[in-house]
């Protein structure tokens, strides 16, 4: 990678699950480099959702390298997820027609609850999972999938962990790591945000900053997608033999399942 940057650059892994992110340094100047990052990074940059995209280069191998401005920032703390600024940014993302149009032009089909359930059942059979809690929650997803209604789909981040939110020295807020983004019901992101970080007595206030009302439909959809997401995480970790993580996720699933007071 140093070859196309030129002489005098030091390139080091930046961590992360994919191993495709790097920090490039030349004296006091730094860049964030990523291989094969999200193809709509330019739109995210233009809308101020991620640090500024500086350039893009396609290598002879076909890989695409992007360079973004390095920010002297910090990850948000879990308690900061309650701030009105996170609600406002997530609202801007979900209401971005530019992001949605680009994602659709790339051929990405919206996440369909029926297909989600079908795919999870295939994996459950493949891995021969017989856990009673997982199967009971799958039964809930199956029974209620047709009650979700027709939501106005948006580009959803899909992993709103506080480690993916960053604030720089100028107090600008960013949401990074868009590799798992999809077109989906915004309740996917909202459910993960609220169930993970926001005490239930503050849900209505946080959603008011986002621009939504905490009604029966949204509560049910958020619960459905959090259950589905947690089971998907269980299956992903199971497929990789990460069974200690599977057990932790089962505890999370039990907690989420206990919050079901608005289904059939």
Evaluate if residue 129 carries a pLDDT over 90. yes
> Once rounded to an integer, what is the mean pLDDT over residues 146-172?
93
Task: State the sign of the Cα–Cα–Cα–Cα dihedral 130, 239, 228, 143.
Answer: negative
What band does 207 get if pLDDT is binned at 50, 70 and 90? very high
Class of residue 194 by CB neighbours under 10 A (exposed 0-12, middle 13-18, buried 19+): buried
159 is catalytic: yes
Question: What tokens appear for 106 in the block?
Answer: 């790339």
Evaluate if residue 208 carries a pLDDT over 90. yes
**Annotated active-site residue in 131, 159, 168, 179:** 159
Q: Could you tell me which residues come within 8 angstroms of residue 227 by beta carbon, excluding any fewer than 6 positions away? A: 137, 140, 141, 253, 256, 257
Q: What angle do CA 151, 153, 158 make, to 5 degrees?
A: 115
What band does 71 get if pLDDT is binned at 50, 70 and 90? confident
Residue in the block written with tokens 């973004």: 68
Closest residue by Cα to residue 100 from 110, 85, 90:
110
| pLDDT digit string, tens, across residues 211-220 | 999 999 999 9
Rounded Cα gap, residues 256 and 136, in angstroms: 13
């Amino acid at each position: 990678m140093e070859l196309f940057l030129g002489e005098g650059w030091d390139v080091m892994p930046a961590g992360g699950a994919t191993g495709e992110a790097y920090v490039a340094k030349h004296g006091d100047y730094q860049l964030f480099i990523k291989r094969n990052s999200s193809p709509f990074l330019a739109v995210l940059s233009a809308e101020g959702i991620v640090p500024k995209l500086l350039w893009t280069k396609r290598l002879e191998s076909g890989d695409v390298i992007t360079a973004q401005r390095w920010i002297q920032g910090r990850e948000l703390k879990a308690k900061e997820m309650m701030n009105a600024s996170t609600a406002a940014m997530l609202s801007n993302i979900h209401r971005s027609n530019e992001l949605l149009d680009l994602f659709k032009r790339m051929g990405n089909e919206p996440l369909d609850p029926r297909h989600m359930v079908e795919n999870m059942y295939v994996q459950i059979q493949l891995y021969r999972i017989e856990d009673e809690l997982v199967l009971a929650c799958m039964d809930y997803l199956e029974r209620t999938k047709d009650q979700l209604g027709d939501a106005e789909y948006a580009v959803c981040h899909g992993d709103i962990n506080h480690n993916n939110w960053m604030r720089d020295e100028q107090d600008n807020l960013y949401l990074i790591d868009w590799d798992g983004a999809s077109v989906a019901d915004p309740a996917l992101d909202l459910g993960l945000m609220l169930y993970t970080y926001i005490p239930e007595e503050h849900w209505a206030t946080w959603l008011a900053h986002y621009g939504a009302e905490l009604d029966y439909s949204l509560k049910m959809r958020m619960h459905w997608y959090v259950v589905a997401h947690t089971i998907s995480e269980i299956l992903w970790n199971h497929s990789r033999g990460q069974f200690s993580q599977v057990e932790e996720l089962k505890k999370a699933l039990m907690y989420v399942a206990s919050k079901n007071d608005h289904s059939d």
